[in-house]
A and B are shown apart, each in its own frame.
Chain A
Amino acid sequence: MNSITIKIPDSFKSYIDASIVRASYLFPELKIHISEEPSSVDISGLNESMDAENIKKEFFNILYRERIYSETLTIRRTIYGD
Chain B
Amino acid sequence: METKTNKLTTPFRFRDINSQTLLTNEVGDYGFFRQDIIHKIFANQLTKEEEIRLDGLSIDFDENKSWKLLSLARRAKSKLNLTNQKLAYIMVVPTLRCDLSCVYCQVSRAPVTAQGFDWDKDTLKHFGKYLDNLETQKIQIEFQGGEVTLRPDIIKEIIEICESKFSEAQFVICTNLLTINKEIEEIYQKDNVVISTSIDGSEDVMVANRTNSSEKSAKFFENLEHVNQKYGHNKVSALPTITEKMLDEPKNLVDFYISLGFDSIFLRPVNYMGFARKNFRELSKDIDRWNDFYRQSIEYIIDVNKDSYFEEYYFSILLKNVVQIHNTGYVDFRSPNFYLQDYCVIDFDGKIYPSDEARMLSRTNHVDLSLGELDGSIDRNKLKDLNWHSMNQTESDCLHCTYMPFCGIDMIDDMSRYNRIDSPKLDTWFCRRNMMIFDLIFEKIANKDLKWLDVFLKWIYRKPNPPKTYEIFYDSAEI
Interface stretch, picked from B8-16, B203-211, B233-241, B283-291, is B8-16
Instruction: Determine the chain B residues whose CB is within 8 A of the CB of A69 once the complex forms.
Output: 11, 399-400
Q: Nearest B residue to A76 by beta-carbon distance? A: B11
A26 touches B73 (CB 8 A): no
Partner of A71, one of B1, B77, B424: B1
Contact status of A79 and B73, CB under 8 A, knowing A69-B11, A72-B11, A72-B12: yes
* Segment of A33-41, A42-50, A60-68 in the binding face: A60-68
Query: With A25-B424, A69-B400, A71-B1 in contact, is A11–B42 under 8 Å at CB?
Result: yes
Task: Give the chain B neighbours of A72 by CB distance below 8 A.
Answer: 1, 9-12
A–B pairs, 13, beta carbons within 8 Å: A25-B424, A64-B38, A64-B42, A67-B42, A68-B11, A68-B13, A69-B399, A69-B400, A72-B11, A72-B12, A75-B11, A76-B26, A80-B76
Cβ B77 vs Cβ A80 within 8 A: yes
**Interface pairs A-B: 10 shortest CB-CB:** A72-B11, A79-B73, A71-B1, A65-B400, A79-B76, A64-B38, A75-B10, A76-B11, A72-B9, A79-B72
Complex interface residues of chain B between 1 and 60 (CB less than 8 A to chain A): 1-3, 8-14, 26, 38, 42
- By beta carbon, the residue of chain B nearest A79 is B73
- For A65, A69, A79, which residue has the most chain B Cβ atoms within 10 angstroms? A79
**How far is A71 from B11 in the complex, measured between Cα atoms in Å?**
8
Query: Nearest Cβ distance between residue A37 and chain B, in whole angstroms?
Result: 22
**Would you give the 0/1 interface string for A1-28, flagging 1 where the beta carbon is closer than 8 Å to chain B?**
0000000000100000000000001100
Complex: how many Å from CA A71 to CA B10? Answer: 9
Minimum Cβ distance to chain A for residue B397 (Å): 9
Give the chain B neighbours of A26 by CB distance below 8 A. 426
The residues of A that contact B10 with a CB separation of less than 8 Å are: 72, 75-76, 79
B346 to chain A minimum Cβ distance, whole angstroms, is: 33
At the interface, yes or no: B80 with Cβ under 8 Å from chain A?
yes
> What total of chain B residues lie within 8 Å of the partner, measured CB to CB?
24
Question: A79-B69, A79-B77 known; 16 other A-B pairs, CB under 8 Å?
Answer: A11-B2, A11-B3, A61-B14, A64-B14, A64-B38, A68-B9, A68-B11, A69-B11, A71-B1, A72-B1, A72-B11, A75-B8, A76-B26, A79-B72, A80-B73, A80-B76
State in angstroms the CA–CA spacing of A71 and B9 once bound together: 8
* Contact surface of B with A, Cβ cutoff 8 Å: 1-3, 8-14, 26, 38, 42, 69, 72-73, 76-77, 80, 393, 399-400, 424, 426
A15 to chain B, nearest CB (A): 11
Cα A40 to Cα B399 in complex, Å, equals 27
User: Smallest distance from the beta carbon of A27 to chain B beta carbons, Å?
Assistant: 12
Which residues on B sit within 8 Å (CB–CB) of A11?
A: 2-3, 42
Taken together as a complex, chains A and B put the C-alpha atoms of A76 and B400 apart, in Å, by 13
CB distance from B461 to the nearest CB of A (A): 31
Q: From A25, A65, A68, A78, give the contact of B73 (CB < 8 A).
A: A78
Interface pair A78/B69, CB less than 8 Å apart:
yes
Quick check: A79 and B26 within 8 Å, CB to CB?
yes
Q: What residues of A have a CB within 8 angstroms of the CB of B11 in the complex?
A: 68-69, 72, 75-76, 79
B2–A71 contact, CB under 8 A? yes
Assuming the contacts A25-B424, A80-B80, asked whether A75 and B69 have C-beta atoms less than 8 A apart, the reply is: yes
Q: Which residues of A contact B26 (CB under 8 A)?
A: 76, 79
Contacts of B73 in A (CB 8 A): 78-80
